Amino acid sequence: MPPWLVSAQTRLLVIAPHPDDETLGCGVLLQQVLAAGGDVCVLLLTDGDNNPWPQRYLERRVHINAAARRRWGAKRRGEVMQALKRLGVSASALYPLGWHDMEVTSRLRNDATGSIAPMRAVIEAFQPNLMCGPALRDNHPDHGAAHVLCRLALAGMEPAPRLLAYPVHGGAGTAGYPISVDATAEQHQRKLAALTEHQTQMALSGQRMLRLADSPERYMPADRREGDRSLPWRPPAVLQQWLRLLVATPAGVKDWPWPQAPVVRGPDGVFRLLEQGAGPAFVKLHLDWPSPWIFDHWGWWEV
Q: What stretches in the chain show pLDDT beneath 50?
A: none
pLDDT of res. 259: 93
Model confidence over 160-170: pLDDT tens digits?
999 999 999 97
**Strands 39-46 vs 94-99: parallel, antiparallel or unpaired:** parallel
Model confidence over 183-197: pLDDT tens digits?
999 999 999 999 999
Model confidence over 246-265: pLDDT tens digits?
999 999 999 999 999 999 99
pLDDT of res. 172: 61
pTM score, whole prediction: 0.95
pLDDT of res. 64: 94
Q: Position 85: which residue type?
A: K
Which residues lie across from 44 on neighbouring strands? 16, 96
**Strands 244-249 vs 282-286: parallel, antiparallel or unpaired:** antiparallel
pLDDT of res. 227: 66
The CATH code for residues 11-221 is 3.40.50.10320
Q: In which region does residue 156 sit, left (phi positive, over 0), alpha (psi from -120 to 50) or beta (all else)? A: left
pLDDT of res. 225: 64
Where along the chain do its domains lie? 11-221, 237-302
3-state secondary structure of 302: strand
Which of 224, 297, 232, 214 lies closest to 269 in space, CA to CA? 232
On the 0-12 / 13-18 / 19+ scale of CB atoms within 10 A, 4 is: exposed
Q: In which region does residue 61 sit, left (phi positive, over 0), alpha (psi from -120 to 50) or beta (all else)? A: beta
pLDDT of res. 173: 62
